[in-house]
């Protein structure tokens, strides 16, 4: 691995682009490769075996591009596939979004004796209990409340925004129990959710600290690469330390990245390119379409660029 090698980011669809956006702010000189498995989204209602299979295929596709680090920019993939994939690809540096988010949540809880930490995520992430384990490893005296929010990802993927009445209704229903229990911190446990951060903050109230898993993930990647001497350029001054008072500070300015971005998808590249501007605050070129080839039911699926 060399400093000039790219950082690879994978997700089930568009949500991981919030991590790409954060990486472009924190590490503007880095070349990025993004893989959105749009043919199989959402991962949140898939079995662990299926998610592992999808992620394995993506990693096999990305490995020849020599990424110096791979980010699982999907909470579901991190929760269900990370241990398996890390064991199967021991030479590849891999990180996810759950550990940075949990660490930031504990830091944000501060010195409260028994803080109430809420997590909203996909059904699969909630079932995995990955956030509970990660939080309790850092602080065993805490109340952790997890709430599956299965409608949010499809609504975001179809282009709905925080001022959409359906989105507002869903958020009020999903967050009602956390409002009643007066959570101190709320983790946005899916990389799609930062696009609804303003609407979530409005519903949950100004006293609740929101933790953006995408931003925390980008900061975590920067620290990892810096420790290994693999940074291509300096860390941007826009990067905020984990647990800082203003988690949104690094997201307030438009990105000024100079590194390149290559994108790959498994379905509907035109739609992906159209919606990606919401996540990246910029237009992108049409992604490369990658199709799975299945010679027979017993053979492994191989991902190859179409055309």
Question: Is residue 74 annotated as part of the catalytic site, yes or no?
Answer: yes
- DSSP per residue over 151-190, as a string? THHHHHHTT--TTSHHHHHHHHHHHHHHHHTT-SEEEE-S
- Whether the bond between 162 and the residue before it is cis, its omega within 30 degrees of 0, is no
Question: Is residue 190 annotated as part of the catalytic site, yes or no?
Answer: yes
Asked if residue 164 lies in contact with residue 131, where contact means CB atoms within 8 angstroms, the answer is: no
Q: Which of 51, 52, 73, 74 is catalytic?
A: 74
Give the three-state DSSP class for 96.
coil
Burial profile 270-285: b = 16 or more Cβ within 10 angstroms, e = fewer: eebbebbeebbeeebe
Q: What is the DSSP letter of 34?
A: E
Q: Which of 76, 73, 19, 21 shows the shortest CA–CA distance to 52? A: 76
Q: Which of 190, 214, 217, 242 is catalytic?
A: 190
Q: What value does the CA radius of gyration of the chain take, rounded to a whole number of Å?
A: 18
Burial profile 209-234: b = 16 or more Cβ within 10 angstroms, e = fewer: bbbbbbbbbbbbbbbbbeeeebbbee
Residue 200, φ and ψ in degrees, nearest 5: -65, -45
Asked if residue 65 lies in contact with residue 7, where contact means CB atoms within 8 angstroms, the answer is: no
Known catalytic residues are 74, 190
């Amino acid at each position: 691995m060399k400093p000039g090698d790219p950082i690879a980011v994978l997700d089930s669809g568009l949500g991981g682009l919030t991590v790409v956006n954060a990486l472009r702010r924190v590490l503007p000189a880095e070349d990025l490769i993004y893989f959105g498995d749009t043919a199989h989204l959402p991962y949140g209602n898939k079995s662990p075996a299926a998610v592992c299979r999808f992620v394995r295929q993506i990693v096999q596709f990305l490995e020849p591009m020599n990424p110096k680090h791979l980010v699982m920019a999907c909470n579901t993939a991190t929760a269900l596939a990370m241990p398996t994939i890390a064991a199967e690809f021991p030479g590849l540096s891999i990180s996810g979004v759950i550990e940075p988010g949990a660490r930031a949540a504990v830091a944000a809880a501060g010195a409260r004796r028994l803080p109430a930490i809420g997590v909203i995520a996909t059904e699969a992430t909630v079932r995995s209990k990955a956030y509970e384990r990660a939080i309790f490893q850092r602080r065993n005296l805490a109340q952790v409340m997890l709430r599956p929010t299965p409608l949010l990802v499809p609504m975001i993927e179809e282009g709905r925004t925080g001022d959409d009445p359906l989105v507002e209704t869903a958020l009020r229903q999903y967050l009602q129990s956390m409002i009643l229990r007066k959570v101190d911190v709320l983790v946005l446990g899916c990389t799609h959710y930062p696009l609804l951060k303003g609407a979530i903050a409005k519903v949950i109230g100004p006293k609740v600290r929101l933790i953006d898993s995408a931003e925390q993930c980008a900061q975590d990647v920067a620290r990892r690469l810096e420790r290994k001497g693999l940074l291509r350029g300096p860390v941007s001054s826009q990067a905020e330390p984990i647990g800082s008072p203003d988690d949104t500070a690094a997201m307030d300015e438009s990105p000024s990245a100079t590194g390149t971005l290559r994108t790959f998808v498994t379905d509907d590249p035109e739609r992906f390119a159209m919606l990606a501007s919401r996540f990246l605050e910029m237009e992108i070129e049409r992604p490369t379409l990658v199709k799975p080839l299945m010679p027979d039911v017993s053979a492994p699926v191989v991902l190859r660029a179409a055309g």
